[in-house]
Amino acid sequence: MKLTTTPRQDGFYFPAEFEPVREVWLAWPERGDNWRDGAKPAQQTFANVANAIAEVVCVSVAVSSQQYEKARSLLHSSVKLVEMAFNDSWMRDIGPTVIVNEAGERRGVSWKFNAWGGDFNGLYDDWSDDDKVAASVCDVLGIDHYRAPFVLEGGAIHTDGEGTLYTTEECLLSPGRNPQLSKSQIEQLLGEYLGVSKVVWLPKGLFNDETDGHVDNLLHVVAPGKVILSWTDDPFDPQFKLSREALAALNAQTDAKGRAIEVVKIPVPGPLYYSENEANGIEMSDGMNRQEGERLSASYANFLMVNGHIFLPLLDEQYDKIAIEILTNALPEYEIVGISTREVLLGGGNIHCITQQIPA
């Protein structure tokens, strides 16, 4: 059921990803203008991710009727398939943000979705099915939902579950999202729909990120007052300046509880680029141009935390082991599960972007 109140009025808030999770959702890729070679390599990788997560928690995958049999053949028998219409498979951005109250009840938030920028710089023209996914997932889960009155994607926000929200100005203040709203109005709405009391603003996201700088590609909140930040020490890398601006912003602010924010740096892989083969395997379209030699927005911060496990994208042999070592030292109680996900990266995101956790 669609509610007419707001989460804050009803005592609901956005819990952290490192709190107990009951289920994880994905959507099955098939778009030929985003996934190469008829999406077959991406489908295998999505299946690898879903099957790995299914070892730890229940997994549901939204799938079109045309792709049902293909998905069923690649996914573990424990993975639940749900027929649903959508335009592309970024469940983090099109699925609901599920919020909780002190009694442990759950509700969903359905954000307005416009393909990361609408008529201004959206990646495709028709996002009407994507915009209905959050409500549909809530119906399947049997929970009520709120319809937020502004554009937002799940990848644009991270929380510590204790009142702090992390986001980027590049994304939330981009002209393609909510040009009618000021920064303070957006902050007020975030408080109203996520129950947060403090927004930590970072200037920009990762270099060449076509989502206009989603925070989940730049950093990950791994504990109250503690974040993993994408980093490079190469002064010739355009990410060099962006990471330092992010660090300066984090150092200049405290979280909702007044704590200084601890920052653990993790190297960006590569730099990595589209190969000729990869770029040529994609059907041309207006919004999503994939060029040979174009820099990929690759990040080890784009992982998923589920019940004591971290599902980490493996992207570069030179840095994979370093990333695992850094996360193991920072979060010794977690088991790190590495999955090769270059095929997801080629579509413009990674493990965090294609998953949406449903809190326990």
| pLDDT tens per residue, range 161-198 | 999 999 999 999 999 999 999 999 999 999 999 999 99
C-alpha distances out from residue 62 to 31, 140, 273, 287, Å: 14, 11, 30, 24
Q: Is 262 within the bounds of a domain? A: yes
Is the entire prediction scored with pTM above 0.95?
A: yes
Q: Is 193 within the bounds of a domain? A: yes
Q: Is the separation of the CB atoms in 316 and 270 below 8 Å?
A: yes
Instruction: Kindly report the CATH number assigned to the domain that includes residue 84.
Output: 3.75.10.10
332: left (phi over 0), alpha (psi -120 to 50) or beta: alpha
Q: Is 265 within the bounds of a domain? A: yes
Q: Is 1 within the bounds of a domain? A: no
Q: How far apart are CA 37 and CA 22, in angstroms?
A: 34
At 132 the three-state DSSP class reads helix
Q: Is 235 within the bounds of a domain? A: yes
The pLDDT value recorded for residue 339 is 98
Q: What is the pLDDT of residues 134-144, one digit of tens each?
A: 999 999 999 99
Q: What is the pLDDT of residues 300-311, one digit of tens each?
A: 999 999 999 999
Q: How would you list the strands of the sheet with 262-267, edge to edge?
A: 219-223, 226-231, 262-267
| Structural domain boundaries enclosing 140 | 7-359
pLDDT range class, residue 284, cuts 50, 70, 90: confident
**Of 58, 138, 171, 353, which one is the catalytic site residue?**
353
As for how many domains the chain has, the answer is 1
Active site residue 353: yes
